[in-house]
Each structure stands twice: as C-alpha cells, then as structure tokens.
Amino acid sequence: MKVAEGRLGKVLVLRLDDGDVLHECVERAASEAGIERAAVLALGGADRGSRLIVGPEDGEAEITVPVLTELTGASEIAAVGTLFPDEDGEPSLHMHASCGRGEKSITGCVRAGVRTWLIQEVVVIEIMGLSSVRATDEKSGFKLLVP
C-alpha cells in the first residue's frame, strides 16, 4: 500500500446537460478551475448508447482486452472517482458508475463515454498538497495512480 496525505481545497458543483459526456466535462471544468487533483461524485441520468468498460476479457491474460457494454435505455447513475494529472499534466478522471434501469444494473468505468440523459449533478472536491500522478504501468499498460 502507498499513502499520501493532502488537504481539501476548492469545491466545484457542475450541472451536466442532456448529451454532455461525463468524463470530458469533469476534466475540462477542473482544468479551467485550476484543479489538478480531486475526488469526484456524480448522480443523475445516463443516456441510451452510453458506454462503460465492464472488465477485462480475461483477467489472467498478458494483454488486457477491455470489455465494453452499451446502455440500452435512459438509466439512473451513481458514480465515484478520482482526478489526477497524467504524465503530460493533463487531468485524467478514473470513475466507476453504477447505471440502473428497472431491475437491471450495470457497473463499470465511464471512460468509454457516458452521455447525460437530461441532467447529471457532479461535485469535484479538490485535494491539495499532493504530487500524485497517473503514470503508465509497463506491465499492464494502464495509467495507474502513483501517490
């Protein structure tokens, strides 16, 4: 386990409108506000056609092949994530969401493109005093958090 300690800074409250893409809006708003590191919460609606990464095809394979799924109808969404800069200093949101419609729920990473249905409410809570980044891991090829 690796640990770093920070303190809270600014708080952004975003309203995403119909058709807005969740991770793109969060990264842009944080960049414009000068927020580099944050905890992020989101809730509201996810539109039909939104895509989630729902796991690797084979968790034991040397090369990770992501499994994507698409929402078939407007769904409720609750999500939590973190925002840290990548190796180029660009904001990079890692957020997992649970999207439900009726009796069915799908949970996965939002990076494949979750579009807002009607409205999403997002809270970005800045974490200051850290130098943590997302760096490319040689073994997995993923951008992993380095506290």
The reported pLDDT for the residue numbered 4 is 94
67-123 pLDDT, tens per residue? 999 999 999 999 999 999 999 999 999 999 999 999 999 999 999 999 999 999 999
pTM, entire model: 0.96
Q: Using alpha carbons, list the distances in angstroms from residue 11 to 8, 77, 88, 103, 120.
A: 9, 21, 24, 34, 16
Q: How far is CA 129 from CA 7, 62, 87, 132, in A?
A: 6, 36, 18, 9
Question: What is the C-alpha to C-alpha distance for residues 42 and 26, in angstroms, rounded to an integer?
Answer: 10
Lowest mean pLDDT among 22-26, 96-100, 135-139: 135-139
Q: Residue 138: what pLDDT? A: 87
Return the percentage of the chain with pLDDT > 90, whole number.
93
Structure tokens that stand for 100 in this block: 């439900």
Query: Which one-letter amino acid corresponds to residue 80?
Result: V
Distance from C-alpha of 134 to C-alpha of 111, rounded to nearest angstrom: 15
pLDDT score at 71: 98
33, 27 in Cβ contact below 8 A? no
Q: For residue 140, what pLDDT is reported?
A: 83
φ/ψ (deg, to 5) at 47 = -85, 155
